[in-house]
């Protein structure tokens, strides 16, 4: 019986087909596992990059990279000038307070004022300090004296608007002290422990290195049970900044 070439090769072709099918079934899970592993690794890497980017964007550097332009670090200021005010009060005696015959007033008093402040500059546009202020004045035959231990906040709200705004500041002041009036060597009014609140404006128009000088205007309202005072000071303010 004769066998054709195609018939002779048929068993070999069948064997090769079977081997190929088995090898395909064997390699498919490995390929799938490899693809899944590569995909998971890529996803993990992408997630890590996103997390790192988020961490970088949310991180806080403690403000160590702030670039100061005009003022920083320690602040030391001194303001001296003329004073105009009005003081009205009674002796610090419960039996004399609010009794018309014991009332003393200065009417329009004039005098002098000096204030020193030591503080810290947090930003180019914000500073805070503590200080001491003393005044002397005369009016209506009364000789007045005042002193205050104070705290002072200074701000430059127009700092980013113009060159003028970089040097134009406003202040809020508060403190405790004493105001007293005397006439012919006798105390006519004594505020005891008085409270003081005030506002001010100033311009640091002249810069000499880290020293700035310019005009300053301050108003103080002083009050206690026996005494009330309104004190306005116009003077010159000099301030030293530690930086930049």
pLDDT in tens, 17-72: 554 444 444 444 544 444 445 555 555 565 555 545 444 444 444 555 677 788 99
Asked if 125 contacts 156 with a C-beta cutoff of 8 angstroms, the reply is yes
* Alpha carbon distance 81, 220 (integer Å): 14
Q: In this model, does residue 98 exceed pLDDT 50?
A: yes
Task: Give the pLDDT confidence of 187-212 residue by residue, as tens digits.
Answer: 999 999 999 999 999 999 999 989 99
Query: Buried b vs exposed e over 168-205: b needs ≥16 C-beta within 10 Å?
Result: bbebebebebbbbbeeeeeebbbbeebebebebebbbe
pLDDT at 27: 47
N- to C-terminal Cα separation, the chain: 110
pLDDT at 7: 52
């Amino acid at each position: 019986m004769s066998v054709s070439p195609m018939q002779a090769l048929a068993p070999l072709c069948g064997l090769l087909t079977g081997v190929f099918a088995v090898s395909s079934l064997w390699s498919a899970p490995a390929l799938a596992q490899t693809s899944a592993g590569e995909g998971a690794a890529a996803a993990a890497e992408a997630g890590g990059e996103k997390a790192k980017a988020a961490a970088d964007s949310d991180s806080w550097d403690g403000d160590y990279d702030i670039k100061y332009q005009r003022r920083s670090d320690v602040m030391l200021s001194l303001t001296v000038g003329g004073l105009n005010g009005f003081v009205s009060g009674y002796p610090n005696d419960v039996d004399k307070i609010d009794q018309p015959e014991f009332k003393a007033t200065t009417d329009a008093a004039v005098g002098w004022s000096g204030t020193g402040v030591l503080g810290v500059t947090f930003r180019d546009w914000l500073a805070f300090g503590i200080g001491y202020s003393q005044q002397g004045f005369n009016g209506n035959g009364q000789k007045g004296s005042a002193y205050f231990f104070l705290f002072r906040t200074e701000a430059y709200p127009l700092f980013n608007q113009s060159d003028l705004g970089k040097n134009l500041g406003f202040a809020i002041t508060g403190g405790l002290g004493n105001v007293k009036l005397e006439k012919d060597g006798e105390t006519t009014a004594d505020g005891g422990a008085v409270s003081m609140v005030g506002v001010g404006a100033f311009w640091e128009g002249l810069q000499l290195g880290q020293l700035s000088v310019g005009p300053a205007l301050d108003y103080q309202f002083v009050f206690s049970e026996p005494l009330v005072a309104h004190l306005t000071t116009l003077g010159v303010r000099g301030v030293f900044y530690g930086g930049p």
